[in-house]
A and B are shown apart, each in its own frame.
Chain A
Amino acid sequence: MSLEIAFMQLFNGVSLFTILLLMALGLAIVFGLMGVINMAHGELMALGAYVTYLTALAFQAVAPGAMEIYLFVAIPMAFGVTFLFGYVLEKGFICWFYNRPLDTLLATWGLSLILQQAYRSIFGAQEVSVPLPTWLTGAWEPVDGIQLPLNRIFIIGLTIVVAVSVYLLLYRTRWGLRMRAVTQNRAMSAAVGIDTKKVDARTFALGSGLAGIAGAVFTMVGSTNPGTGQLYIVDSFIVVVFGGVQSLIGTVMSAFAIAQTQTSLEYLLSGSLAKATILLLVIVVLYFRPNGLFAVKQRS
C-alpha cells in the first residue's frame, strides 16, 4: 500500500469517526450521568438526519437561491429539534425508569421500534438524501496524488467545534459543574442543593441534541432511511465502553481507533469480518482493562 493510499484511507475513516464520536459523546454523557442505556439513541440520530432533510426541502421550496447555506440552518435545527425531543422524552418517559437498568433497556428499545415505524409512515421506507452545496463537492489536493474530499474536511471542522463546545460546557460552566457533580455522586449533589431532576432532563436533552448533529453530519456522507440509526448504535456503544465512561478524551481516542480500524479492515476484509475482528479486539482490551482504555483513576 503506497503512502498516498494509506493517507487517503485514513481520511476515509474520518466520516465514520465524526459520526461515531458525536453519537458516543451523547451516549457517554447520558450513561455516565444517569446510568441510562438509551437504545433509541440511533433513532435520535435519524431524527437529526430527517430534520436536515426537511430543512433542505423547505429551502428548495421557499428560498432555492439560498441552498448554498442551508446547512448552517439545518445543523442548528437538527440539534434544536432533537434537543427538545430529548427533553420531552426524559420528562415524560425516561424519568420513570431510573434505577431500573433492565426496564430502561427494554423501554428505550421499544421506543426505538416505535420511532422507526413513525419514520417509515412519515418519510416512507426508501432512502432520502439531501443535495450537497456546491462548495462542499470536489476535493482539495494539497499535493499531487492526495485528494481530500471537501465535505469530509467540513465535517471534521464541525465535529471539532462541537467537541470543543461540549468540553467548554462541561468544564467551564456552572451547568457543567452540576452535571459532573451529579455524575460523581447523585445523592450528595442533591444534598448540597443541586436540582438533580433539572440536570437529568437537560443532560438527556444535550445528549439527544448531539445525536441530532451526528444525524446532520450523516446526511453529508450517506442517505437516510428509517433504519439508519441502527447502523451506528452498536458501534457507538462499543466506542463508549472501549473509551471508558467519564473520559471525554477517552471517547475521542476510542472513536478514532474504532473508526480507523473498521475502515482499514473493510478495505482488506469484508464488512462483517471487519466488524467481528473489532469486537474481538475490544473484548480482549476490556479483558485487561475492564473500565475501558481511558478509565479515570481515583482514590476510593
Chain B
Amino acid sequence: MLRIDKLDVRYGDSKVIQDVTFEVGTQECVALMGRNGMGKTTLLKAIIGMHPSHAGSVRLESVELANLPSYERVRQGLAFVPQGRMIFPLLTVEQNIQAGMENSGGGEIPQYVFDFFPVLHEMRLRKGGNLSGGQQQMLAIARALVSNPKVLILDEPTEGIQPSIIKELARTLNALRKERGFSILVSEQVLSFALEVADRVIVIDRGSFVHEERREQLDEEKVKAFLTV
C-alpha cells in the first residue's frame, strides 16, 4: 500500500532520517517507536509532504508522491494527524472537520464521524482552540478521516492524554480501521498503546531503523530497552 524507499531527510546539513525503507500493507497498522528526538516526526512529515525529503521515494499504490505538495498527497489517499494536533484554533469544531473534506468537495459531515466521536457533535459549534487536549485529538482524527484516506498517519496521538482516554483511543482506532478499511502508520513512545493497535512494530534510533517485529513475536524487553535512555 504505502512504500517508503531509501528515504533521506535533512534539516539544513544535519541528516535526521537516513536510508529508511519500509512498507505499510493494506489494512495493516504499523507502529513507529523511538525515543524523543529520534526522528519520528521528521519521517512522518516527509511522508505527508510538510517537510521536503532529500532523497528516496514515497509511493502509495505505486504512485510516486515524494515531490508532490501535501494537498496532492492527501488527494492520493494519505491523511495526517500531527503531533500537537494543530487544530485550526479560530474555526469551530464543525469547520475544522469540514476543512478536511476537500476530497469529497465539502458538504455535510458524514454521520459515522459523530457516531465514533459523540463529543464532537456536542461541541460542534465551539472554537477548536477552546477544546481540551483529548477532544482536540479526536477532532484532529476526525478531520483526517473525512478525506477518506487509504493510509492514516498519526504522530504520537497519546501524547499529553490521560490513561483512560488512551485506552478509548486505541479501541476507536481499531474499530475505525475495521469499519473504514484503511491502513495506519502511527508513531508512539507508549508500548502498551502500540501493542493494542499495531500488527507490527518498527523501532527507529537516530534516524535509522534498528529493530522490527510482528506483534505476536514481539520481545517487549528488547523494545523497551530501545525506548529507555
Binding site for B on A (CB under 8 A): 174, 177-178, 180-181, 184-185, 187-197, 246, 296, 298-299
Chain B residues lying within 8 Å of A187, measured Cβ to Cβ, are 50, 70
The 9 nearest A-B residue pairs measured at CB? A193-B74, A193-B102, A190-B70, A192-B100, A188-B86, A191-B70, A181-B99, A184-B88, A174-B106
Residue of B nearest to A195 (CB): B71
Q: Is the CB of A191 within 8 A of B49?
A: yes
A188 to B45, CA, bound (A): 11
Q: Is the CB of B71 within 8 A of A184?
A: no
B187 part of interface (Cβ distance < 8 Å): no
The residue from A180, A188, A194, A197 contacting B102, defined by CB atoms under 8 A apart: A194
Name the distance in Å between A218's Cβ and chain B's nearest Cβ.
Answer: 33
Indicate whether A194 sits within 8 Å of B130 (C-beta atoms), given known contacts A181-B88, A181-B91, A188-B86.
no
Interface residues of B in 92-118 (CB under 8 A from A): 95, 98-100, 102-103, 106
Q: Is the CB of B90 within 8 A of A296?
A: yes
Known: A185-B88, A190-B69, A193-B70. 9 other contacts (CB 8 A): A174-B106, A177-B95, A178-B99, A180-B90, A184-B89, A184-B90, A187-B70, A189-B99, A191-B70
B147 part of interface (Cβ distance < 8 Å): yes
B65 part of interface (Cβ distance < 8 Å): no
A184 to B91, CA, bound (A): 9
B6 part of interface (Cβ distance < 8 Å): no
Interface residues of B in 123-137 (CB under 8 A from A): 129-130
Q: Is the CB of A191 within 8 A of B103?
A: no
The residue from A174, A193, A196 contacting B75, defined by CB atoms under 8 A apart: A193
Query: Can you report 8 A-B residue pairs in the complex whose CB atoms are below 8 A from each other?
Result: A184-B89, A184-B91, A187-B70, A191-B48, A192-B100, A196-B69, A298-B129, A299-B89
B143 part of interface (Cβ distance < 8 Å): yes
Binding site of A, secondary structure by majority: helix, strand, loop or mixed? helix
Chain A residues lying within 8 Å of B74, measured Cβ to Cβ, are 191-193
The residue from A178, A180, A193 contacting B147, defined by CB atoms under 8 A apart: A193
B144 part of interface (Cβ distance < 8 Å): yes
A130 to B131, CA, bound (A): 55
Name the distance in Å between A92's Cβ and chain B's nearest Cβ.
Answer: 19
Q: How many residues on B have C-beta within 8 angstroms of the other chain's C-beta atoms?
A: 28
A212 to B72, CA, bound (A): 33
A-B contacts, CB under 8 A, total? 73
Residue of B nearest to A173 (CB): B106
Q: Is the CB of A193 within 8 A of B90?
A: no
Residue of B nearest to A190 (CB): B70
Chain A residues lying within 8 Å of B103, measured Cβ to Cβ, are 193
Q: Is the CB of B147 within 8 A of A177?
A: no
Chain B residues lying within 8 Å of A299, measured Cβ to Cβ, are 89, 129-130
Residue of A nearest to B74 (CB): A193
Chain B residues lying within 8 Å of A181, measured Cβ to Cβ, are 88, 91, 99
A192 to B74, CA, bound (A): 7
Name the distance in Å between A255's Cβ and chain B's nearest Cβ.
Answer: 22
B182 part of interface (Cβ distance < 8 Å): no
Chain A residues lying within 8 Å of B34, measured Cβ to Cβ, are none
A4 to B79, CA, bound (A): 63
Residue of A nearest to B131 (CB): A299
Chain B positions 51 through 69: 1 when the CB is less than 8 Å from some CB of chain A, otherwise 0: 0000000000000000001
Name the distance in Å between B72's Cβ and chain A's nearest Cβ.
Answer: 8
Chain B residues lying within 8 Å of A195, measured Cβ to Cβ, are 71, 102
Residue of B nearest to A196 (CB): B71
Q: Is the CB of B49 within 8 A of A192?
A: no
Chain B residues lying within 8 Å of A193, measured Cβ to Cβ, are 70-71, 74-75, 100, 102-103, 147
The residue from A177, A180, A190, A298 contacting B71, defined by CB atoms under 8 A apart: A190
Q: Is the CB of B50 within 8 A of A191?
A: yes
A51 to B153, CA, bound (A): 51
B157 part of interface (Cβ distance < 8 Å): no
Name the distance in Å between A300's Cβ and chain B's nearest Cβ.
Answer: 8
Name the distance in Å between B157's Cβ and chain A's nearest Cβ.
Answer: 15
> Which of B74, B130, B144 has the most chain A CB atoms inside 10 A of its CB?
B74
A6 to B129, CA, bound (A): 44
Q: Is the CB of A185 within 8 A of B86?
A: yes
A184 to B95, CA, bound (A): 13
Chain A residues lying within 8 Å of B69, measured Cβ to Cβ, are 190, 196-197
Indicate whether A177 sits within 8 Å of B129 (C-beta atoms), given known contacts A185-B88, A191-B74, A296-B90.
no
A246 to B91, CA, bound (A): 12
Residue of A nearest to B78 (CB): A191
Chain B residues lying within 8 Å of A180, measured Cβ to Cβ, are 88, 90-91, 95
